[in-house]
Structure 1
Amino acid sequence: MTDSATDTRNTSAAAGFSRRQALGLAAAGVAGSFLSCESAPAANAAQPRRSADRRFFRHRVGRDLELLVLDDGFVELPAANYALGVPAAQWQPLLQEAGLPVDVVRSQISPVLVRSRDRLVLLDTGFGALPTPDGRRTAGHLQASLRAAGYRPEDVDTIVISHASADHLGGLINSERELAFPEAQIVFAREEWDFWREERPTPNLDEGSRAFFLTFTRQIFPLIERRVLLVDRDVQLARGVNVAPLLGHTPGHIGLQVQSDGQRVILSCDALAHHVLSFRHPEWRFLADVEPEHTVAVRRAILQEASDRSDTLLHGYHFPFPGLGRVRSIPGGGFVFDPVRLQ
């Protein structure tokens, strides 16, 4: 990714990864190796190590890669948003069983910095200076967490934006409307960028959710467009660091797969909305899913593959910090997330 490719009007990329292809691969499940960008032998992934400072969490992936999960804060949302149209009598017992409130979900916000031998790749940027939905300042702490971990914003050379929601792209801009990461190239899926810039219809979104997207894309897109690299399919950002198309939550939603020495982590962003409900019932829709049927297909594929492979950890952007854990299947077709525990 060179400087000559940063202008969105002049970028070239390979053929697109269509939603039809995503659904086909998802239906094939593990046989299609939905998220694999290269083959890897089965192996036990190394156990994550907690930091003394709770604002970040380090995890080594093989010899070549390190993940740094960063705490941006949290927002609180109605629990009913995570099982849209499902009677409360079905989902409330699952939250109770997990020891969670049944009325509100504390949604953690956890960008991830991936350090390879020659690159620093940041996946998503939290809220930044943008207001949270309820107006409280419970998020926007990425910069402080990054510095606590020993990095400066200038150190980050690549930022991947999974999708154009305020809690993922807000931290690209500081309170003075300047680039918060002045040296970084910003990677978007072309379909994601075009969808929100052109303000295409969103029949599956309520007007409040649509307005929340558009309010901030209208503000931020013009400020960052000269630094954006648009991609049309899975690409390698660094050795062992690959963009993974996870279409559905939004039309161009992407995540990352990181892999080294037979160890792998799937960074799923918003393909999985909740660490209990999205696992036990992958078919349940989250309020902000733009294309719910595609989201469900992709979600099932991620869960099936992660549960079938002993070399794989999963990260959820909105799971309780640090959001890393293993996936196991349970009778009846559901799944359970076994998180890494902070001591």
Structure 2
Amino acid sequence: MRSPHLSLTRSVALGLVLCAGAALAQAPAQQKTQVPGYYRLAVGDYEVTALFDGYNDLAPSLLKGMKPDAIRALLARRDIDTPGVQTAFNAFLVNTGEHLILVDTGAGQCIGETAGMLTQNIRAAGYQPDQIDTVLLTHLHLDHVCGLVDADKQPVFANATVYAAKPEANYWLDPTAISRVPEQARAYFKIAQDSTAPYIAAGRFKTFAPGDSPVPEVTTALEAGHTPGSTTYRFSSKGQTILFIGDLIHSLAVQFDHPAVSIAFDENSQKAIASRDQVFTQTASQKIWVAAAHLPFPGTGHIVAIDKHFQWVPAEYGPYQRAAHVPLLK
């Protein structure tokens, strides 16, 4: 006859095993963090690091030149939630071996908790803000200049000289601008002036004529329309080239297929459309790298021309140094 004490002991042991199994089966707490926002690319001897500053949600109604239903259809093809399209703020660091150059500075403290990640991602990428010696601004909208200063309006890049094209600086930094522009625009002019002020006071804000080279490694071109002095920056090394195009495009889903669609932020929509078409056509024919401020991170890739439309071919994640392509054996 089986002992009741033995059955009880076995039942308790089985219960303990089942409890232990249940405990082991429970997953650890979710981490709810993202990887650091940087992406590295070799362009000849230059090291280009894309840096994620954050994002903002933009209403599809900001896009102009197509019927709203057509825009929503294009967004739906990419399964984009149309009440607000997530739009990245990208900046780019170029290490030429002679200079450490930052192209644009993100939105900083100007739009809230979804942006202002630039400096932490610079550090995550292995650099320090005070190592940057040159800042090139494609234009002076808040999501490109606010990162120049911290919440106390102190310079973030203590050893950098900041450059902008003369037409852009003349437009935004004119002391009389705030008193003569419409009231709804005054805050944007004040942000541009406050963000550049400490660099101007220190003698570390300089302008250049379109086509001039602020530093020897870069060539510039005026691509007016989005703003009066919107500028592209081209770096070339060992037969490879990358062009930083700023805000020539905002919407991946719409403006490659339909480059004649503008955005409400454009100062002159027709000039912006012409600049976009000219730059897209040129970069597609030259097969060069392109880096854009508002395409999905890392905002780096190639543009391909198909009839009167364009396609974006994003950079694929892979080793930093890529070996030369070797033909497959037949």
TM-score range, shorter chain: 0.7 to 0.9
Deviations 1:215-234 (A, max 9, x none): 31242343332321111122
Q: Is 1:59 paired with 2:59?
A: no
Pick from 115, 119, 125: which aligns with 1:143?
Answer: 119
SS in structure 2 of the partner of residue 72 of structure 1: strand
> May I ask how many residue pairs the two structures share in their alignment?
281
Alpha carbons 2:163, 2:214 under 8 Å: kept = no
* 1:251 corresponds to: 228
Q: How far off is 1:206 after superposition?
A: 8.5
SS in structure 1 of the partner of residue 262 of structure 2: coil
Aligned equivalents of 1:96, 1:236: Cα separation in 2: 42
SS in structure 1 of the partner of residue 263 of structure 2: coil
Unaligned 5+ runs, structure 1: 1-51
Alpha carbons 1:276, 1:337 under 8 Å: kept = no
Deviations 1:155-203 (A, max 9, x none): 00000111111110001111222111010001011111111123659x9
Q: How far off is 1:211 after superposition?
A: 3.7
Aligned residue identity for 1:160: L
Q: How far off is 1:238 after superposition?
A: 4.3
Aligned residue identity for 2:96: S
Aligned residue identity for 1:79: P
Pick from 47, 57, 74: which aligns with 2:55?
Answer: 74
* 1:182 corresponds to: 158
* 2:30 corresponds to: none
SS in structure 1 of the partner of residue 281 of structure 2: helix
* 2:207 corresponds to: 230
**Is the deviation greater in 109-118 or in 256-265?**
256-265
Identity score, percent: 25
Deviations 1:98-142 (A, max 9, x none): 232223211101100011021011011112222x1xxx3100010
Aligned equivalents of 1:262, 1:278: Cα separation in 2: 29
SS in structure 1 of the partner of residue 109 of structure 2: coil
Q: How far off is 1:274 after superposition?
A: 1.7
Query: After superposition, where does 1:1-343 map in structure 2 within 5 Å?
Result: 53-62=35-44, 64-81=45-62, 83-84=63-64, 86-130=66-110, 132=111, 136-198=112-174, 208=184, 210-225=185-200, 226-310=203-287, 312-331=288-307, 333-342=308-317
In terms of Rg, which structure is larger? 2
Aligned equivalents of 1:194, 1:237: Cα separation in 2: 17
Aligned equivalents of 1:169, 1:230: Cα separation in 2: 15
Aligned equivalents of 1:99, 1:290: Cα separation in 2: 30
- Normalised by the length of structure 1, the TM-score is 0.76
Structure with more relative contact order (C-alpha pairs < 8 Å, separation 6 or more): 1
Aligned equivalents of 1:285, 1:159: Cα separation in 2: 27
Aligned equivalents of 1:246, 1:115: Cα separation in 2: 25
CA spacing shift, 1:221–1:241, aligned 2, 3 Å? closer
Aligned equivalents of 1:213, 1:190: Cα separation in 2: 18
Aligned residue identity for 2:205: V
Aligned residue identity for 2:257: R
CA spacing shift, 1:76–1:207, aligned 2, 3 Å? farther
Q: How far off is 1:342 after superposition?
A: 4.3
Tell me the C-alpha RMSD between the 2 structures.
2.2
Aligned residue identity for 2:57: E
**Is the deviation greater in 121-130 or in 140-149?**
121-130
